[in-house]
Amino acid sequence: MDAPLTAPDALIRPWRTATIVASLVAAVELVLLLGAGVVLLGKPLSHALRHQAAAAAAATPAKTVAKAKPVVVHRTPPAVPHVARAHTGVLVLNGNGHSGAAASEAARLHSLGYPVAGTGNAPRTDYATTSVMYRPGFRGEAIRLARDLGVHAVGPLDGLTTARLDGGKLVVILGAA
Q: SS3 of 58, please?
A: helix
Q: For residue 110, what are the domain limits?
A: 85-174
Residues 96 and 162 in one domain: yes
pLDDT reported for residue 46: 79
Question: Could you please report the per-residue DSSP string of 3-55?
Answer: PPPPPHHHHHHHHHHHHHHHHHHHHHHHHHHHHHHHHHHHHHHHHHHHHHHHH
pLDDT reported for residue 12: 58
Name the least confident of 49-53, 58-62, 83-87, 122-126. 58-62
pLDDT reported for residue 110: 92
Domain membership of residue 164 (yes or no) is: yes
Domain membership of residue 2 (yes or no) is: no
Residues 39 and 103 in one domain: no
Residues 119 and 46 in one domain: no
Bridge partners of 131, per DSSP, are: 153, 173
Q: Is residue 14 pLDDT above 90, yes or no?
A: no
Residues 105 and 142 in one domain: yes
Domain membership of residue 126 (yes or no) is: yes
Question: Could you please report the per-residue DSSP string of 140-173?
Answer: HHHHHHHHHHT--EEEE--S--GGGGTT-SEEEE
Distance CA 79, CA 85 (A): 15
Whole-number percent of the chain with pLDDT over 90:
43
Q: Average pLDDT of the chain?
A: 83
**Phi then psi for 67, rounded to 5 degrees?**
-85, -10
Residues 166 and 95 in one domain: yes
* Segment 132-166, tens digit of pLDDT: 999 988 999 999 999 999 999 999 988 777 778 88
Residues 39 and 114 in one domain: no
Greater model confidence, 14 or 40: 40
Domain membership of residue 78 (yes or no) is: no
* Residue 91 DSSP symbol: E
Residue 3 has a CB neighbour count (10 Å cut-off) of 5
Domain membership of residue 55 (yes or no) is: yes
Q: Indicate which CATH number applies to the domain containing 119.
A: 3.30.70.2390
* Segment 72-92, tens digit of pLDDT: 655 666 777 888 999 999 999
Residues 49 and 112 in one domain: no
Domain membership of residue 76 (yes or no) is: no
Contact 131/175 with Cβ under 8 angstroms?
yes
Greater model confidence, 88 or 18: 88
Domain membership of residue 1 (yes or no) is: no
Greater model confidence, 166 or 110: 110
Number of domains within the chain: 2
